[in-house]
Amino acid sequence: MTEFDTIQEDFASLDEWEDRYRYVIELGHELEPLSPEAHNDANKVRGCVSQVWLEKQLRRNAAGETVLHYRGDSDSHLVRGLIAIALALYSDQTPKHIVETDAMATFRALGLEQHLTPQRSNGVRSMIERIRSDAVAAA
């Protein structure tokens, strides 16, 4: 089971949206730390109301394929949690997998899209577009 599968199961077990919001915030606390040096203009994601940084590293998986590894951070607790969900879906995946995965449909399936403000939804889209753009460039 992937980390994202676990997130989906945990989401399904929470009935109230307030509990789901708390869970998203908890996920943000579990993000791999982003160094102070990585909080730079090159890593900053444009189009987000909150400040968001995504740092990318190209790595090799056990099969020798290129994968994109991400670390992320935000000045918002909720957005840090949204980053954690996106990274659970995309980090350490091949460029091909990233391009073929519809993260917005996944966020909709979790019920997140309809419970986020339009500004937060735009921020999520900006993060996803950044990751997909990185994948296309790495392919």
Share in percent of the chain as helix, strand, coil (round to 5) = 55, 15, 30
Q: What is the pLDDT of residue 100?
A: 95
Strands (E) across the chain are located at 52-60, 66-74
Q: What is the pLDDT of residue 21?
A: 92
Catalytic residue, from 7, 24, 34, 48: name it.
Answer: 48
Respond yes or no: is residue 48 known to be catalytic: yes
- The structural architecture, per CATH, of the domain 3-138 is Alpha-Beta Complex (3.90)
Q: What is the pLDDT of residue 109?
A: 86
Burial class (CB in 10 A: 0-12, 13-18, 19+), 13: exposed
Residue 10, token pair as written in the block: 């945990």
Q: Mean pLDDT for each consecutive 10-residue tract of the chain (139 residues)?
A: 85 91 95 95 91 96 95 95 95 96 88 82 92 95
